[in-house]
Structure 1
Amino acid sequence: MTKEGATTVKNAGKTAVTIGVATALALFAAWLSVASESIIMMFLLGVLFTAVFTSSLGWAIGSALACALLFNFLFTEPHYSFFVYSPSDLMLLVFFIATGIVSGMITSRLQREMKLASENEHTAKILYRIASDFLSASGTESVIRKAKDLVWEYAGLKSTISLGEQPTASTAFEINGAAGLLGRLELSQGQPSGQMLLIVQAICAQLGIALEREMLVAEREKIRMAMEREQQRGTLLRSVAHDLRSPLTAISGAGNLLADNYSKLSDAERRKLASDISEEIVWLSDLVENILGMTRISEQKIVLHKQDEVIDDVIGEAVKHTERLLRDRHFHVKLPDNVVTAPMDGKLIAQVVINLLENAVRHTPSDSEIFLTVHAGSDLTVSVADTGNGIPGVIRSRLFERFVTQESDIVDGRQGLGLGLSICKAIVEAHGGTISVSDNAPKGSVFTFTLPMEEADE
């Protein structure tokens, strides 16, 4: 039996029961000698209840006609006949039929309005929940997955969503945004209708809004990153121009002095000028190396060539590179008693140690002490301690970010770009290690980084 047939049988049963009850009440009232004008009201109640129970104008009208015939058959002269002899009974029946039809129409319409209001309220709640669910989703993939889940939850239909394509199937719904068509939602189980169609259309509308929101967020993020890159580029150029000026001026001055007065200068003076030129060139070389290193890190092109390296050799290479800078400091190195190896990119880890030593030299006066300590345990720990003035609290939390520099107390007069420590952090973390800074009692700072002693399982 179809759904419509089942509904018809159900309404017929409700109508028969209602008319039967109304007839029984009317017979009971007649037994009590109640007037026919009051008895017919029993049948009018039956018409009203039929309209309420069936929510159908047709069944209400049918009930009114059936009740009129029953009243005529049972309660008008002659009894048990469909003839009407009395004009008053005829008028009563006519008015009953008219009243019953009008009352049934009003009642059934009211029932339909109430049902429609209830459905609209239910739909409004669903639409509100749909909009709320999209607000909690972020990311294009998450938004699309949420839309599919909502179609299944509220419409009971499976769907596929394609972006940037024109609708091609009859069961496809357009996903539109302010900029135009964004994609399509295609159902795999037929075309919905009524409330389900409204829900699917609402999901498509909310999906379009959410996708456009994600596009705006992505565009805003691109603009922010572009502005940040531009700001960093400007900072880098200003810093490079400032930091190159001093060593180039010193190299130029020393070179001109050697060229113009070579024969007049003593051996010691010529050696001092040559040494100064060498130091400035080394500093410039390190500066360029840091700039190139940060460029590779910014472009995520840092590549590790790991192998088991003897830590003594790595530390020795770093110390050899900075020995000219350390000659005016009391430099102490403490290495493990045994030969220790660890998986690392030796060149990059040597660069980390060089940057830390140069940082210590830059922030300590002559004749101060610098300690380089290596300890091998569950991890390889390398620390560089100095006896300078320590790290100002205002920059401690940002010390390993790019372009963060100390504003004063630079011993050698070279401010630096603020890239060295950020490069150290990137290299150490690429090895799976950590780097930190702490105070060195009674004065100074200690920079410590750790590396795993064994290669991590992929």
Structure 2
Amino acid sequence: MTINRKNREIARSVMKVLVVLTLSLLGSLLIAGLGAGRESILMMFLLGVLFVTILTNGYIYGLAASVAGVVLFDFFFTEPRYAFLIYSAVDVMLLLFFLVTAVVSGTITSRLQKQISISHQSELTARLLYKVAEDFLHITGKGNIILRGIKYIYDHTGYASRVILDGDDQEYFSEQYVQSDMEGLTIPIQGVAKQMGSLTLYCGRDELTFQQELVVKTVATQLGAALDREYSYREREEIRVAMERERLRSTLLRSVAHDLRTPLTALTGASSLLTDKFEQLSLEEQKKLAADISEEMIWLANFVENILNMTRIGEGQLFLHKEDEVVDDVVNEATSHMSRILQNRHLEVSLPNEVISLPMDGKLVVQVLVNLLDNAVKHTPLESCIDLKVGILGNDVVFEVCDNGNGIAEDIMNRLFDGFTTPKNNIIDGKRGMGLGLAICKAIVEAHGGAIRAENQPAGGARFVFSLPNGGE
């Protein structure tokens, strides 16, 4: 392919020389017929030599045009005419000066043309290198980086290529690549610290041009830099995720240890008092201690359930077991869990007149309601009123839990449903909690295809609203 291309270029250059010399001869004959002197005729041939030098890419063509110009001038314009003889010494000197002038002028023109070509080539090369480097700056993902490099090579060289990375069983190749025994040029893909793979260009026995070779080597270099950057970013991301996981684990352990201390202390004290002074206690005091133990056990059960759910959510193992559940039954089960925890607070429940059933995981939805009601208890004083309302809005069933406490602090409003988010002020009942309840509510509701939000009421207190789709997924 390369030999044929060179032969075609030589043929075109020879044709240009013949055309220019023919035009120069015709022009010389024309001006000779108009009475022009031999000096003017020589200038016509000199112009022809300069045009040959400009139109062709080789110094040899200008030299050949100079010699041909001398021969043509001798044959057509010196005595004796139409013969390759020269009788006049003046004509010999004239032709000699013409030849020297033509060769010098052609050489200067050829060099100037070559410098222009080199400058133009350098500009194109600089633009090409800049474009290659710029393209790789904005690509992420190992596969995307390699495929962009392969496509870039094919667009600028016309040859298919293949990339193989060390330690990676997958091969990346251009769409035009066909498995064969075709010879290829292999270039290593070098990273900062080690070789990362190799790039093979399937060009057969063709000799690459300077620009083609530059494109391939530049792409290989940019592939190494981009892949090195991608691997470094991935390693940093893995380290960051591991550190974040360790931080959450430490936070969880500290929170569990802290939050278990209060109910366990209460349980220990109440059970010890019952054991040691059971006979001395009145019936009312015995009932009070037993109620306290029951309340703390209920709180611990909810606490452990939240931890288990949060662990499942974190591991992506929160699976729903949907069945048609009656909303009234779910609400009644949630309020029964809260009967001892409410103490002197008043819980007002409002349900629709008609019976509503939804495809849902009843146990998890009960956990959502218990968490929201428990959150309302923690943030409201005794004798407060808590409302639980259920209604229908379009294709959704909407649940609302409202209280008349102090409302939600503005500094945590935007991250209220994130894990481990708790207000800085003291909790009413002294049980601070880990801040997992609302995060679990959000995960469960969204797993059902619903949405949850929180807001402060104009008259005071907080309102938590979540909706579940009526009809399921």
Question: Matched residues in 2 for 1:441 and 1:31: separation?
Answer: 109
Alpha carbons of structure 1 residues 159 and 340: separation in structure 2 relative to 1, 3 Å: farther
Question: Matched residues in 2 for 1:341 and 1:46: separation?
Answer: 98
Q: TM-score, normalised by structure 1?
A: 0.92
Q: TM-score, normalised by structure 2?
A: 0.89
Aligned match of 1:313: 329
Residue 165 of structure 1 deviates from its aligned partner by 5.7
Among candidates 65, 68, 76, match of residue 67 of structure 2:
65
Aligned match of 1:267: 283
Matches within 5 A, 1:88-99: 88-99=90-101
1:107-156 deviations in Å (ceiling 9; x for gaps)? 22332332233233223323322222222222223223322332333233
Alpha carbons of structure 1 residues 313 and 282: separation in structure 2 relative to 1, 3 Å: same
Segments of 5+ residues of structure 2 without an aligned counterpart are 172-180
Q: Give the 3-state SS of the residue equivalent to 1:238 in structure 2.
A: helix
Residue 63 of structure 1 deviates from its aligned partner by 0.7
Aligned match of 1:139: 141
Question: Matched residues in 1 for 2:392 and 2:76: separation?
Answer: 111
1:264-288 deviations in Å (ceiling 9; x for gaps)? 2111112212221222222222222
Of 28-37 and 388-397, more deviation after overlay is shown by: 28-37
Are 1:9 and 2:25 an aligned pair?
no
1:208-237 deviations in Å (ceiling 9; x for gaps)? 222222212212221222222222222222
Matches within 5 A, 1:77-156: 77-156=79-158
Question: Matched residues in 2 for 1:331 and 1:198: separation?
Answer: 78
Of 369-378 and 3-12, more deviation after overlay is shown by: 3-12
Question: Matched residues in 1 for 2:356 and 2:75: separation?
Answer: 115
Segments of 5+ residues of structure 1 without an aligned counterpart are none
Q: Give the 3-state SS of the residue equivalent to 1:332 in structure 2.
A: strand
Of 164-173 and 151-160, more deviation after overlay is shown by: 164-173
Aligned match of 2:301: 285
Residue 375 of structure 1 deviates from its aligned partner by 1.4
Aligned match of 2:428: 411
Please, what is the CA RMSD of the aligned residues?
2.4
Aligned match of 1:238: 254
Of 398-407 and 44-53, more deviation after overlay is shown by: 44-53
1:33-55 deviations in Å (ceiling 9; x for gaps)? 55544542332222111111112
Are 1:183 and 2:200 an aligned pair?
no
Question: Matched residues in 1 for 2:78 and 2:298: separation?
Answer: 125
Conserved? CA contact 2:387–2:402, under 8 Å: yes
Equivalent residue letter for 2:379: H
Alpha carbons of structure 1 residues 451 and 162: separation in structure 2 relative to 1, 3 Å: farther
Equivalent residue letter for 2:469: P
Question: Matched residues in 1 for 2:40 and 2:153: separation?
Answer: 56
Question: Matched residues in 2 for 1:397 and 1:361: separation?
Answer: 22
Matches within 5 A, 1:321-340: 321-340=337-356
Question: Matched residues in 2 for 1:412 and 1:121: separation?
Answer: 76
Equivalent residue letter for 2:166: G
Residue 331 of structure 1 deviates from its aligned partner by 0.7
Residue 62 of structure 1 deviates from its aligned partner by 1.0
Of 70-79 and 355-364, more deviation after overlay is shown by: 70-79
Aligned match of 2:177: none
Alpha carbons of structure 1 residues 189 and 341: separation in structure 2 relative to 1, 3 Å: farther
Of 398-407 and 143-152, more deviation after overlay is shown by: 143-152
Identity level (%): 46
Q: Give the 3-state SS of the residue equivalent to 1:79 in structure 2.
A: coil
Alpha carbons of structure 1 residues 128 and 111: separation in structure 2 relative to 1, 3 Å: same
Question: Matched residues in 2 for 1:361 and 1:140: separation?
Answer: 52
Equivalent residue letter for 1:454: G
Among candidates 442, 445, 461, match of residue 428 of structure 1:
445
Are 1:388 and 2:422 an aligned pair?
no
